[in-house]
Structure 1
Amino acid sequence: MIARSLTLLLALTLAHAAGAALQPFDTDAFDEIRTRYANETVLVLIWSLDCHHCKDGMAKAAGLLDERPGLNLVLVNVDPADEAAAVASTLQKLGLSEADNWQFVDAPAARLRATIDPQWFGELPRSYLIDAEGNSAGFSGRISQDALDHWRQRSR
């Protein structure tokens, strides 16, 4: 257990040095995200290094952030902690190093997924649009331009 924690700490430190601050996504993280963005609209994109469609959605979101820097975007990576440097590099390439970035910790992925949505079984890409009232809608598959436009419009 101590070795795992040290590995995670080292990986996240290396990721931070690479330009992206990755916060550890543990069983309390999604509640923390919801609290942080209470009374605001936020788009949560869940992604993996080997998910091409995830990166397409992230690139679209990055384009919207360029147009309107105040939009609330949270990115949650589901790869193992030892991939933190590759995760940070990908975020940097996509221009998303400054987004609110998280990475799953070394805990059972199913347990972490259940804290986000008990009905989500791990398919990627996965997106959640959470409105200012705290209502959320989850989407599996490529994020549509309509969903991105809705996020942009609700975030005024």
Structure 2
Amino acid sequence: MMRARRQRLAAAAAATVTACALVLGTAHAADRVAVFESASAARIAASQQGKPFVLVVWSLDCVYCKRNFDALGKLRVKHPGLRVVTLATDSAEAMPQVQQLLERVRLTRNAWVFGHEPQERLRYAVDPDWMGEMPRTYFYRADGDRRGVSGVISEADWARHLRWAGIAG
């Protein structure tokens, strides 16, 4: 009887540890960089559940992209609910460096990096009119309408684009 009780306790403890590991693993997985393939563009838009958001396309070797990250950091202080998705155009092999930079700028949620399809196909999946210039920022409205902007965005332009997307008043 004592042995059966110990076995039940051990089984319950193991189940609890497994459940905790799954929960922690899921939370941690949300902060991992996902691999972007051409079908991912529609998944990203759908994942935002009809809410306005900003998609920031960047690269590790893009100096100007880092300026947009600085501006985003300031904006997230003013607008804590600002939904940001990042997409690095670097190869999936650069994922550790991409993850490290995103951790430094606190943008690890909803982060993506280009996968193994040809760059042209992946860029086309993001926007058929985009020629690859960076940084590239897309402002999505709740209705799915979007506006793409190339280059570093000034503080006044951030405010204007966020208002257009319905993110800031």
Task: Answer yes or no: same fold by TM over 0.5.
Answer: yes
Could you say which residue in structure 1 is the equivalent of 2:92?
Answer: 81
Could you say which residue in structure 1 is the equivalent of 2:112?
Answer: 102
Shift of residue 152, structure 1, vs aligned partner: 4.5
Identical aligned residues as a percent: 30
Larger helix fraction of residues: 2
1:149 aligned onto 2:159:
yes
Could you say which residue in structure 1 is the equivalent of 2:104?
Answer: 93
CA contact (8 A) 2:51 2:142 kept: yes
Query: Which amino acid is the alignment partner of residue 155 of structure 1?
Result: I
Q: For 2:161 and 2:129, how far apart are their aligned partners in 1?
A: 22
CA contact (8 A) 1:114 1:120 kept: yes
Q: Provide structure 2 residue ranges, at least 5 long, that are not aligned to the other structure.
A: 1-27
Q: Provide structure 1 residue ranges, at least 5 long, that are not aligned to the other structure.
A: 1-15
Q: Which has the higher contact order (CA 8 A, sep 6+)?
A: 1
Query: What is the total number of aligned residue pairs between the two structures?
Result: 139
Structural RMSD (CA): 2.0
Query: Which amino acid is the alignment partner of residue 122 of structure 2?
Result: L
Secondary structure of 1:39's counterpart equals: coil
Which range moved further: 86-95 or 48-57?
86-95
Secondary structure of 2:50's counterpart equals: coil
CA contact (8 A) 1:41 1:151 kept: no
Q: Which has the larger radius of gyration?
A: 2
Q: For 2:156 and 2:127, how far apart are their aligned partners in 1?
A: 22
TM-score (norm 2): 0.75
Runs of 4+ in 1 over 4 A off after TM superposition: none
Q: 1:66 aligns with which of 66, 77, 90?
A: 77
Q: For 2:53 and 2:158, how far apart are their aligned partners in 1?
A: 11
TM-score (norm 1): 0.80
Inter-CA distance 134–48: structure 2 relative to 1 (3 Å threshold):
same
Q: For 2:66 and 2:59, how far apart are their aligned partners in 1?
A: 8
